[in-house]
């Protein structure tokens, strides 16, 4: 945001509180600008970020008011991860309990209960036959691990020529090198690297619409493309049901069944990147569940720890694990320093348990209904192409690139934190967002769409 409302400047509210607190806000922002790189931003930053002092429930508390608000309802759930809201007593207790035992020990040669419990829980909640779990530190790394598993599987079973990946356009799989190579090659944020990245095989983006009948021509084209490249393709990788950071587009689960059949027919592995869609976001526990198919490899992240700390996981089937472990190099040569971090694992285990113990499906369905109500008619706003809702995801698509500063300001004025991108003003709120806050988010989305 380019400007903030003038406000009396003083020490941040927690002066004298936690270690490191008490930095005057002007100084904090000057240091931030001078030294701190922010996501997808230039250095030094051109926009002044809002300073968050604390967060509880669905609200971010600002260190000083912005456009008249010192609290914002978080429509982003911190990039879709904080599904239980902030400062949750159950997750806080899990973190504290683990902190008093040990925050971290290496996973090489050692193991621990939080890591084992979490792995077992992930195996229990994901589709059969995903039975083996590789824990890592972030979503992008979990995708790197998935790619390594697939390439190494084929190498190990005597087909080393299968080294490429196949995906459909419009996807997003992370910011490290191999994930970048399967992000949307044109519209995505990594297109300048197309000459430097491994060259993958791209199908057209799946036809839009979750409820639409699968288009037989598109499906036939997808099958044919997989067949044509089967000798060099190790795996197909897609985000099931919703393409997220690539454009918030929904597609029919039917295409996932087409991918499963074509992959089986042509000896290609199937990877579902469920980092955004996992843990209930689309109305099913996993995107794969809408289609009733199981991938060979699955990535989860984001909501895995309820948004508390960074952790991700790559799951695979016994077939993939046995293939790798019976090969010429019979190990998966990957082992992040903080692999299986006990603190993250304890929080993740508590977060998934909390999700399953509550009525997550009812909550997501209630949010879906609230978003449908709140966004009804938004497609008639000037400059708006359409609006769509699936599960706890609400999207307004403009007919032009959004003016992010103006849109964000309009949302903040309305008391809501949104972070629009591309042509999209969207929300992926915490599942604990109540109806009144949901209505507020929808009003802010309309205001942001009009301003942006």
Ligand X SMILES: *Cc1c(COP(=O)(O)O)cnc(C)c1O
Instruction: Cite the annotated binding site for pyridoxal 5'-phosphate by residue number.
Output: 139-140, 273, 336-337
Q: Give me the DSSP letters along 193-246.
A: GTTTSPPPEEEPPPPB-SSSPP-HHHHHHHHHHHHHTTTTEEEEEE-SSEE-TT
Between 143 and 444, CB nearer to ligand X: 143
286 binds ligand X (CB under 6 A): no
Q: How far is CA 257 from CA 12, 222, 223, 291, in A?
A: 53, 11, 11, 6
Binding-site string for ligand X from residue 92 to residue 131, where x marks contact by CB under 6 A and - marks none = ----------------------------------------
Measuring CA to CA, how many Å separate 211 from each of 206, 220, 225, 272, 375?
Answer: 13, 19, 24, 20, 18
Minimum CB separation of residue 141 from ligand X in Å reads 7
Residue 172 bears catalytic tag:
yes
Verify binding: residue 172, ligand X, rule CB under 6 A: yes
Pick from 280, 301, 323, 391: which binds ligand X (CB under 6 A)?
A: 301
User: Which range touches ligand X (CB under 6 A), out of 11-19, 58-66, 138-146, 283-291?
Assistant: 138-146
When the beta carbons of 3 and 186 are compared against ligand X, the nearer one is: 186
Instruction: Report yes or no: 153 and 309 within 8 Å, Cβ to Cβ.
Output: no
Give yes or no for residue 281 binding ligand X (CB under 6 A).
no
Which of 162, 302, 349, 437 is the catalytic position?
302
| Residue 64 contacts residue 51 (beta carbons within 8 Å) | yes
Residue 419 CB neighbours (<10 A): 16
**Does the annotation count 403 as an active-site position?**
no
Active-site residue 32, yes or no?
no
Which listed residue (83, 133, 222, 245) binds ligand X by CB under 6 A? 245
CA distance 201 to 162: 12
Annotated binding site: 79, 139-140, 172, 273, 302, 335-337, 419
Q: Is 59 in the site for ligand X (CB under 6 A)?
A: no
What's the distance, Cα to Cα, between the start and end of the chain in Å? 13
Q: Which residue of the set 172, 218, 255, 308 is catalytic? A: 172
CA angle 123/128/131 to nearest 5° reads 40
Active site residues: 40, 172, 273, 302
* Binding region for ligand X (CB under 6 A): 138-140, 143, 172-174, 239, 244-245, 273, 275-276, 301-302
């Amino acid at each position: 945001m380019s400007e903030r409302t003038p406000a009396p400047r003083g020490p941040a509210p927690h002066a004298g509180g936690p270690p490191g607190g008490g930095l005057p806000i002007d100084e904090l922002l000057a240091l931030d600008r001078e030294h701190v790189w922010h996501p997808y931003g230039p250095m030094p930053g051109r926009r002044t970020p809002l300073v968050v002092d604390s967060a509880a429930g669905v609200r971010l508390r600002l260190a000083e008011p912005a456009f008249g608000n010192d609290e914002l309802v978080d429509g982003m759930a911190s990039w879709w991860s904080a599904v239980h809201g902030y400062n949750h007593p159950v997750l806080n207790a899990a973190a504290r309990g683990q902190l008093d035992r040990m925050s971290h020990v290496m996973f090489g040669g050692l193991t621990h209960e939080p890591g084992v419990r979490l792995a077992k829980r992930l195996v229990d909640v994901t589709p059969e036959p995903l039975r083996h779990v590789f824990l890592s530190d972030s979503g992008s790394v979990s995708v790197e691990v998935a790619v390594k598993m697939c390439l190494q599987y084929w190498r190990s079973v005597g087909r080393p020529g299968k080294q490429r990946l196949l995906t459909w356009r419009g996807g997003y799989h992370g910011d490290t090198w191999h994930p970048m190579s399967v992000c949307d090659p044109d519209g995505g944020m990594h297109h300048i690297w197309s000459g430097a990245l491994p060259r993958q095989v791209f199908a057209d983006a799946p036809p839009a619409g979750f409820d639409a009948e699968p288009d037989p021509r598109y499906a036939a084209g997808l099958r044919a493309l997989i067949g044509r490249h089967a000798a060099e393709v190790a795996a197909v990788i897609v985000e099931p049901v919703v393409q997220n950071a690539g454009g918030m587009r929904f597609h029919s689960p039917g295409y996932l069944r087409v991918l499963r059949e074509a992959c089986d027919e042509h000896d290609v592995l199937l990877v579902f990147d469920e980092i955004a869609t996992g843990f209930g976001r689309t109305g099913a526990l996993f995107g794969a569940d809408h289609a009733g198919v199981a991938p060979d490899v699955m990535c989860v992240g984001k909501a895995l720890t309820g948004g508390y700390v960074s952790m991700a996981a790559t799951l695979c089937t016994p077939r993939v694990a046995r293939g790798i472990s019976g090969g010429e190099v019979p190990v998966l040569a990957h082992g992040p320093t903080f692999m299986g971090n006990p603190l993250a694992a304890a929080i993740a285990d508590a977060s998934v348990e909390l999700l399953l113990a509550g009525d997550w499906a009812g909550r997501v369905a209630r949010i879906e209904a609230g978003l449908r109500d709140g966004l009804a008619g938004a497609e008639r706003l000037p400059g708006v192409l359409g609006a769509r809702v699936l599960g706890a995801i609400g999207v307004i698509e403009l007919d032009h690139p959004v003016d992010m500063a103006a849109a964000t300001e309009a949302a903040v004025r309305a008391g809501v934190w949104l972070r629009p991108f591309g042509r999209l003003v969207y929300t992926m709120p915490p599942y604990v967002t109540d109806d009144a806050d949901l209505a507020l988010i929808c009003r802010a989305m309309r205001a942001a769409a009009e301003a942006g």
